[in-house]
Amino acid sequence: MLREGIAAHRRWIVASLVAIVLLALAPLWLAPFHVRVGQQFLLSAGLALAWTILGGFAGYWSFGHAAFIGLGAFSAALSMPALAGLPPLAAFLVALAIGCIACGVLAAAIAYPILRLRGIYFAIAMLGVSQVVAELNNNLDFLKGSMGVTLPAIVPRAIDPATWFYYAFLIATVLTLAIAFAVKTSRIGHGLVAIREDEDTARMLGVPTERYKIMMFVLSAMLAGLFGIIYAWSLGYITSGSVYRTDFSLNMIVYSLLGGIGTLIGPIIGALLMVVLTQVVLGQLLDIHMMLTGILLVALVLLAPRGLTGFVRERRRARRGEGAP
């Protein structure tokens, strides 16, 4: 299936490779401020893609993926003292693995009961999960959520940290895109779409709905954790307030929705559009930029309820004159 998927999407793959090369070269000529905007874009796109693996493909909209960003960040941060014997970069990579595994374990532990909920009930339950995890992290003293944790520097002196983290986010985002592509074009991806469209019918056709949902929930959580960890190190110092952020949870959904739910290009376009608009274009208008962002969101949702990709697809279909009879 994967081979067929690659063959069928050759143009997209070539375009993605070109985009990746351009993104890899970009820091050579970008101003420092724009490197940070680039970081923001890669982080946003990567998180939206991680969310899409469950929310976009299977239609299980998590409103609380920030739980995994925070959990990943803190479990990696708190394991650093135990890794003090290793060279900084090696210690970071081990902590990265520990953080991702912690997210996977939490997701697996709550998957069975929580994935029995459908639609808005699952969304609300995940919102609850993120609140509980954030509160625990904040209030249990040994988890240092309110006091905060300082993270050891890992970037070599010769390299600008902003550039180093730009590449770290780039690698994580490309990895997430590759995983999401493999999922989408495989048998499992078709099963997830069937679950999204009609879960009971999917089960009747032999789709192992429970197993698929749990697997994707765990995968999506681990990838969200991965970004949370890199993000934490890019900050250098974290409190529970800086990683358990509700706006993270919301933005993953908003970017996927704006670009087009269920697609791979959608979350990337959505993140690009919103990050460029809010950081670059509207950044000049500090007083009213949140208001303009809000107006823009409403306008986009009204004009393109199926996201930008859906909008383009419908226009093309209309031009070919394929109306529903």
Residues numbered 25-64 forming contacts with other proteins, rule: CB under 8 A: none
Q: How many residues bind other proteins (CB under 8 A)?
A: 21
Which CB, 146 or 201, lies closer to other proteins? Answer: 201
Which CB, 321 or 325, lies closer to other proteins? Answer: 325
In angstroms, the CA 175 to CA 46 distance is 9
Nearest approach in angstroms of CB 185 to other proteins is 12
Nearest approach in angstroms of CB 205 to other proteins is 5
Nearest approach in angstroms of CB 197 to other proteins is 4
In angstroms, the CA 253 to CA 61 distance is 8
Nearest approach in angstroms of CB 199 to other proteins is 11
Nearest approach in angstroms of CB 99 to other proteins is 34
In angstroms, the CA 208 to CA 188 distance is 9
Residues numbered 112-171 forming contacts with other proteins, rule: CB under 8 A: none
Nearest approach in angstroms of CB 241 to other proteins is 40
Residues numbered 247-306 forming contacts with other proteins, rule: CB under 8 A: none
Which CB, 150 or 201, lies closer to other proteins? Answer: 201
Which CB, 193 or 265, lies closer to other proteins? Answer: 193
Nearest approach in angstroms of CB 107 to other proteins is 23
Nearest approach in angstroms of CB 187 to other proteins is 5
Which CB, 249 or 309, lies closer to other proteins? Answer: 309
Nearest approach in angstroms of CB 120 to other proteins is 19
Which CB, 287 or 322, lies closer to other proteins? Answer: 322
Which CB, 130 or 209, lies closer to other proteins? Answer: 209
Regarding 205 and contact with other proteins (CB under 8 A), the answer is: yes
Residues numbered 185-204 forming contacts with other proteins, rule: CB under 8 A: 187, 190-191, 193-194, 197-198, 200-204
**CA atoms within 13 A of residue 285's CA, in its CB half-sphere:** 10
Which CB, 135 or 197, lies closer to other proteins? Answer: 197
Which CB, 235 or 317, lies closer to other proteins? Answer: 317
Q: What is the 3-state secondary structure (H, E, C) of the chain?
A: CHHHHHHHCHHHHHHHHHHHHHHHHHHHCCCHHHHHHHHHHHHHHHHHHHHHHHCCCCCCCCCCCHHHHHHHHHHHHHCCHHHCCCCHHHHHHHHHHHHHHHHHHHHHHHHHHHCCCCCHHHHHHHHHHHHHHHHHHHHCHHHCCCCCEECCCCCCCCCCHHHHHHHHHHHHHHHHHHHHHHHHHCHHHHHHHHHHHCHHHHHHCCCCHHHHHHHHHHHHHHHHHHHHHHHHHHHCEECHHHHCCHHHHHHHHHHHHHHCCCCCHHHHHHHHHHHHHHHHHHHHCCCCHHHHHHHHHHHHHHHCCCHHHHHHHHHHHHHHCCCCC
Q: What is the 3-state secondary structure (H, E, C) of 142-189?
A: HHCCCCCEECCCCCCCCCCHHHHHHHHHHHHHHHHHHHHHHHHHCHHH
Residues numbered 206-225 forming contacts with other proteins, rule: CB under 8 A: 206-209
Residues numbered 296-325 forming contacts with other proteins, rule: CB under 8 A: 322, 324-325
**Binding interface with other proteins (CB under 8 A):** 1, 187, 190-191, 193-194, 197-198, 200-209, 322, 324-325
